[in-house]
Each structure stands twice: as structure tokens, then as C-alpha cells.
Amino acid sequence: MPLDASGASLLAAVKASPRAVAAHDRQAWVGLFTPDATVRDPVGARPHTGREAIERFYDTFIAPNTIEFRVDNDFTGPGVVVRDLSILTTMSTGAQVLVPMHLRYDLTEVDADLRITHLAAHWELPAMVAQLLRTGARGFGAGMKLGAALVRNQGLAGAAGMARGFTGVGRAGKRVATELFDAATAGDTAHVRRLLGAGTVIECPAGTIVSADEFTAWAGAGLQPGKMIAAGRSVTTSALRAGTPAVITLEFAPYAPRIHHVTAFTERVPDEPRTSSGALA
């Protein structure tokens, strides 16, 4: 059954995460997840599933760093929060990286409390590494420390799993996404159908299944794509539609740059202040 919770309640549960990390409270942060939860950070890398794996994720990527959320917009769907943001990470060496990101949280109710069942962090690992190396010696030192911590906490398999974040739909996926948005805003339903295929599921807004024709009509009302992120087999896009913000996620087939799921998050959850200190998740 769909989770019956307001967008404000879902967002309040999600915001407990940066608070726990700001306090460096490992137990509180891990406790926000269900025992069988999955963290994909970044999307495309090997997932971290279960309490022990999520604890190791915290020890590797969160504990050594100071992280600041720079949130532009928050959106909600049935049992879901999507945050459109950039994250400023200051590493132990002092190196800093500012990473554009979309965060998706799926939540469920456990003993009358909301818990995270799935966290998907959409950001581009190659771009982050390039930015880190451009910081010079501090960035190189931070990379060495991170690599050592990754092997220590997660083993060689964990390091190899993280490296999977360098693969995915990449530029080809972004080209397909751009082509889709261009066709939809131009009202070219036939081209939209060719890009999506007969089996593609379209949710617009999230939780409401619509046809390719209906999606094209929605996009035709002044859709303007902006920030676009390719991570794993997904492309996520910040957009404006008639001046109103949205985030659109495109999920691609496993072995080809063909879209098989579209979700438009359009229900915005107002939040203040718009900047908060906290963690990656």
C-alpha cells in the first residue's frame, strides 16, 4: 500500500539525516534506515544494503568529512522525497568539492515512525574526481586517504564496486534526454513515442501514470530543462515548467540508451532555510 504521509512529514523525516551527520552521530544516522535498506551513493556504484553495509558507508564517506547542503528545491511523491541541491564537501585535508546532485529518498512507516528504505544519490563521480584533483596536493591527499579508507572498511570488492560509478549512460544518456525534452516541448508526439517505446512507464506527476501524448502536452507548457546529471543507468534533470520548478528522472534499459521509465516530480515542499549543514544523505 502507498505510504499515507504528507510531503511535509516526509521531508521532516529526511531532514533528520543532515542533522545526525552534523552532530557526527553515527548511531542516529544509521537508525534512520530500515534494517534492509539500500544506499546507492553514487547511483551506478555497488549498492550498500543492510545495517552493517550502511555503517561501513558512513565510516568511509561521511565520518571524515564536513558536508553542507545547498538545497534549491524539495519535491515529494507517494512515499518519496527528491532534493535538488549541490553539496559542498570539505575533506580532512582541507580540499573542497561542490557537487551538483539530486537525492531521492523512499520511505516507509515502522512502528509509527518514518524510516528510509532506499536512498539514491544522483551525482557524477568522474566530474567530482576531476574537481578534486584540480585542488592540487590537498585533493591528491584526500583521494589517497579515501582510497585507503574504502579498502579498509569495504575491502577490495568495495573499491571495485565504487569504481562502477564511472560507468553508465553518460553523455549518450544526456543526448537522449535532451532529444526527448526538445521533442516534447515542440509537441512532436511521434518522436516522443519513438524515444520512449511501447513499454515505457511515465509518471507525471510522480504516482500518476500517463500516456506519451499526455506527457508531451505537459512538457509543451513551457518546459525548460536545466541541470542534468547522468549517474548509472539514470539521467535526472532540474527543470522549470511555466516558471515552476520540477525534477524529471529518466531510467534507462540495462544495456542500451533507451528510456524505460519517466518520473516527473512536480509537487514542491517549501522549506526554510534553504541552506543547511549536514551529510551526503
- 175 residue type, one letter: R
User: Pairing between strand 66-77 and 275-278?
Assistant: antiparallel
- Out of 134, 167, 200, pick the residue that ends a domain: 167
The CATH number linked to 23 is 3.10.450.50
Can you say whether the dihedral through the CA atoms of 193, 196, 200, 205 is positive or negative? negative
Place of cell 553495509: 53
Model's pTM, two decimal places?
A: 0.93
Collapsing DSSP to helix, strand or coil, 57 comes out as helix
Q: Pick the residue with more confidence: 1 or 105?
A: 105
Which helix (H) or strand (E) is 149 found in, with range? helix 137-163
197 and 252, same domain (yes or no): yes
Model pLDDT for residues 37-47, shown as the tens digit of each residue: 999 999 999 99
Q: Pick the residue with more confidence: 204 or 197?
A: 204
- Out of 167, 198, 228, pick the residue that ends a domain: 167
125 and 218, same domain (yes or no): no
Model pLDDT for residues 143-178, shown as the tens digit of each residue: 999 999 999 999 999 889 999 999 999 999 999 999
The stretch 236-251 carries a mean pLDDT of 98
Q: Pick the residue with more confidence: 200 or 280?
A: 200
Domain carrying residue 122: 7-167
Position 275 in a domain = no
How many domains in the chain?
2
Position 281 in a domain = no
CA atoms within 13 A on the CB side of 142: 25
132 and 246, same domain (yes or no): no
- Out of 144, 167, 190, pick the residue that ends a domain: 167
Can you say whether the dihedral through the CA atoms of 183, 184, 187, 192 is positive or negative? positive
Model pLDDT, residue 255: 82
Model pLDDT, residue 278: 45
CA 202/CA 88 separation, integer angstroms = 33
Q: Distances in Å between the alpha carbon of 88 and those of 19, 45, 95, 163, 268?
A: 15, 20, 10, 22, 23
Peptide bond into 64 cis (omega under 30): no
131 and 214, same domain (yes or no): no
CA 246/CA 113 separation, integer angstroms = 28
**pLDDT of 279 strictly over 90:** no
CA 134/CA 68 separation, integer angstroms = 20
**pLDDT of 205 strictly over 50:** yes
Model pLDDT, residue 158: 87
**pLDDT of 264 strictly over 70:** yes
